[in-house]
Amino acid sequence: MNKFNRGLVVALGLLMFGAGEAAWSQTAPVGDAANGKRLYLAVGCFTCHGRSGQGGSYNYPAPALAETKLPLEAFKTFLRVGPNDMPAYTESVLSDKDAADIHAFLRSLPGRRPPKDFPLLNQ
């Protein structure tokens, strides 16, 4: 293989890897939800966002996180920045893999259900 071809193969490989990763992140969460649950409870997310990700408040309303629609990258940005009352979680506290695991856990939670799903509310 000459130099030019080798460069082409590397470029194509990078392109395929990049495209594959982007497509993946838009479908199934890539993290480990069980570990995400452990971390969510261990580092204290639940104190503000609720044990079931139902949301809550501290000094400022903390949004519901169950079934989050945030893509992983946006989710990670919230963690790293820590908007308003939310503390910032640096990489030394939560790695990118930890963030992906928590994201997967939150995506796996059922979230809010409409009142019609509760027999007691439909009598």
- Based on CB atoms, which residue is closest to ligand HEC, 9 or 85? 85
Q: Nearest distance from residue 102's CB to ligand HEC, in Å?
A: 5
**CB contact at 8 A, 57 and 48:** yes
- Based on CB atoms, which residue is closest to ligand HEC, 6 or 51? 51
17, 24, 58, 118: which one contacts ligand HEC (CB under 6 A)? Answer: 58
Single out the segment in contact with ligand HEC by CB under 6 A; choices: 5-13, 19-27, 74-82, 112-120. Answer: 74-82
Asked if 35 is part of the footprint of ligand HEC (rule: CB under 6 A), the reply reads no
Asked if 60 is part of the footprint of ligand HEC (rule: CB under 6 A), the reply reads yes
Asked if 77 is part of the footprint of ligand HEC (rule: CB under 6 A), the reply reads no
Residues 90 and 87: their CA atoms lie apart, in Å, by 9
User: What is the chain's alpha carbon radius of gyration, rounded to the nearest angstrom?
Assistant: 19
Closest CA to 75 of 52, 99, 93, 56: 99
Residue 67 in tokens: 């079934």
Asked if 86 is part of the footprint of ligand HEC (rule: CB under 6 A), the reply reads yes
The b-or-e profile of 88-108 (16+ CB within 10 A means b, else e) is ebeeeebeeebbbbbbbbbbb
Q: Which residues bind ligand HEC (CB under 6 A)?
A: 43-45, 47-49, 58, 60, 62-63, 65, 70, 75, 78-79, 83-87, 89, 102
